Structure formats: C-alpha cells, structure tokens
Amino acid sequence: MKTPAALNFGHSPETIEFWKRLVREALSLSTPPPLYIFSALPIAERISELDTELVSAGFQSQTQNSKPKILFRHWLSCKTQPVAPLLRWWREQGRGVEVVSEFELRAALAEGFAPENILVNGPAKHHWLPQFELCYLSVNFDSSAELAALLPLAKKLNWRCGVRILTGEEFDPETPQLPTQFGFAPDEAIAALKKLQRAKTRVETVHFHLRSNISSVATFERAIAEVAKICRAAKFSPLHLDIGGGIPVRHVLTRGGKIYDGQFGLVAFAQSLRQSVKLFPELRELWLENGRWVSAGSGVLVIKILDVKERRGVRQLICDGGRTLNALMSVWEQHALVPLAERGGAEVLTVVHGPTCMAFDQLARIPLPRSLKAGEHLLWLDAGAYHLPWETKFSHGHASVCWHDEKGIRLVRERQGFKKFWGDWK
C-alpha cells in the first residue's frame, strides 16, 4: 500500500523515496534510532529556487559580477541547524554565517569562517562579544546599552555595523498585542543611527526580523517601508538592508490544519522586494537569513516502534523517540509521518508516542495501517529546523545524527551513551 497522499502533506513520491533510501543506508551502517538524518541536497535546492526568482526580479546573485544591480546575500542561520558538516559545506559554497551566541561564534570560527563572513545578531551580546578581538565582523546592534558598550570595539576593530529595528509588523506570536524583546523601537533606532554616524563608525546596515512563517508578502512591504522612513528621519542611507527570515515553511500544517505557505509565492516575494529596495537610493546589498524555509526540508527524524497498545478506540505506538526528546515543534505543527516499509490493510486512528513518562509525549495522532508492529521504523519529515537545537535528554540520551551530501551518507554524531549522559556531573 502506498503512503496516503493526505499524510504526505504535499511531498512528492520522489521526495518520500529519497528519504527512505537514506534511512535504509543509515540503518545499514548500524546506526541506532532515534536518528536524525540531515542532507545538503534539499538546502541547495531551496537556495537555487529562491536565487532564480531574485535574479529574474532584477537582483544580482552573490556569485555574479555584473553591475549596477543590487546584490543579494544569503546568511546561514546557525541556530536553526547547528550541525558541523553543514557549516563546512556552506562555507565551501562561499557564503557567510549568522550567529546569535558565543557558542555559535566559536563554532563558526572552528569551521573556518573568516570574521568578515560572520554576521552577529541577537540580544545582550555586549556580555560575551568583547572577549573576541575580531576585525571586520558584521554586527547588528540590538539595544542602547549594547551599542554604548560595544561602540569603542566597533571603531577599533572596523566592524561593519548595523541596527536592528522593531517595526510595527513584529509582535509576540503568543500575545499579538505585545512586541517582541528584540531591536530598537523607531525613535531609539533613529537616535542609534545618528550616534553611529557621529562616531564615524562603519555603519552600513539596517535590519529587521519579523518572525517565522510570514503568511503575506505585504507584511514585508510594510516593514521595509517603515524602515525606510526611519532611515530618512536619521538622514542615513544604508548600503545593506537585512530583512532577516520569515518565508513560510512548506509541507507543514498548523495544529489546526492550516497550510503555512498557502498564500505566499516566491515570484511575488522577489518582485515585491525589487520594488521595495528602491526606497533606499544607495543600497548595494539585500541580506536574507531564512533559516526554517531553507533547512526544514533537509532533515528527517527516524524512530522505531517499541510497543503497541490498543484501548478506547485508539491504537498507540510507543517509540524510542518523540515530541519530548526530539520534535518539540510537534506542539505547534503537523508534519508528514510515514512508515519506512510499505504496509497494507485497514487504517486506524493511531497516536505515536515517544518513550518518556509524559502524556505530553505525542508526536502525531493520525490514521496509520493497523499492520504496523513493534520493530518497524517511522519517518517524521521536515525535521531540519530547530529539532536538533531543542533536543532534550529527558531520561534518555541524545539521538544519533547522520549527514548526507554529494559524497554520500555518514554518521557524524553517535547516540549518547550513559557516560556522556551523566558524565558532566562532579
């Protein structure tokens, strides 16, 4: 029996078979589940797709040399998928990395990124960034206190400086009437830009980041227009416009069944950006930091069924991985969940549980073939964004990790044993 199309969430049969092939290869390496597999190929496809639309709209890619078109630059969001082979692969593409913490900056340096190819974002970085005497970093300031503390370093080390702006389009997703904690309010941003200009720093960038899964291109248009107004008030002409991320992820539904990218099109997005950047007469580069859209489809979580129960009209699969350990995103999102082996017969409402002693540990509640039994494997797709960073070791160790690229698939992190699980205690 083929996997029902309704449970594929729009994935093509070729995509399903691609992941099944990688899972079989990983299992043949004696890699035990729970297991994450990450692949560079879907990331390359996403970047190429977006590049095509941006070039068609009139932008210039990072690898082109023609002028005077505005260049666009992709920054890899390290926090979204902090996997060492990914950083190495991305660096080999000649692209830069975006970091938001001390550990991420150390990781970027360890993987060979030059400081001029590192963009530092995030709040309260004045408490850790001064320990790095690095010239030519790109740094977007997040607050007045941060700016005051880091301004001398910015001048000394010739940082490429920017200001993150809290636009009216940014709000706390859980409490929409309230703002997020990031960036300068408009009046503060104007003052910060003036201060940087008076100090004769290398201030070149204005930045905003709205949130994940923006449903409408018009949201970006309004935010960019507001940023342009702030720049005019500060008498500042940026060379770089950093619009963060936010392109909605594909093949993923909300818990209520809504499609995240149902009304968002890349063609309209690229054309809208080309019109919006005209508000900045001296602009040279458009910066993008799309983490979820780029990497969500580049990973799967593989789990094994350990036990099966049936009661009160529902079938329950107890697996070695699940929400609590490996896929916290399942609190908000529904992903395609498919058996590795083709299984026929009648389907029954099934709840897929992880192994922890939490009723909360429910990865999915969907129809699955009754023929599934203990010992078989399930694939949770689109596990490439924020699954690994939010992984826990609730009564268990961290999962195995395999990496796949043009050279093949290999184990890059072993499943955590007891010594590592307990070994940090003194």
Domain limits of the chain?
5-39+297-422, 70-290
DSSP 170: -
β-sheet bridge partners, residue 368: 348
pLDDT at 65: 60
Largest Cα–Cα distance of the chain, in whole Å? Answer: 73
pLDDT at 68: 67
pLDDT at 129: 98
Options 3.10.110.10, 3.40.50.300, 2.40.37.10, 3.40.50.2300; CATH for 5-39+297-422 is 2.40.37.10
pLDDT at 130: 98
Residue 221 Cα distances to 41, 238, 279, 285, 323, angstroms:
31, 17, 11, 17, 36
DSSP 305: E
Residues 6+ apart with CB under 8 A from 172: 178, 179, 180
| CATH fold for the domain made of 70-290 | TIM Barrel (3.20.20)
127 is written with which tokens? Answer: 């408490």
pLDDT at 69: 87
At how many degrees (to 10) do helices 266-276 and 217-233 cross? Answer: 10
The residue among 175, 171, 178, 266 whose CA lies nearest residue 223 is 171
pLDDT at 263: 85
Residues 6+ apart with CB under 8 A from 395: 355, 356, 357
Inter-residue contact 344 to 381 (CB < 8 Å)? no
pLDDT at 62: 74
**Residues with pLDDT less than 50, the chain:** 1-6
Q: Distance of alpha carbon 378 from its chain centroid, rounded?
A: 23
Residues 6+ apart with CB under 8 A from 375: 304, 305
Residue 421 Cα distances to 256, 358, 398, angstroms:
36, 20, 8
Q: What is the pTM of this model?
A: 0.95
Q: Distance of alpha carbon 316 from its chain centroid, rounded?
A: 31
Inter-residue contact 66 to 281 (CB < 8 Å)? no
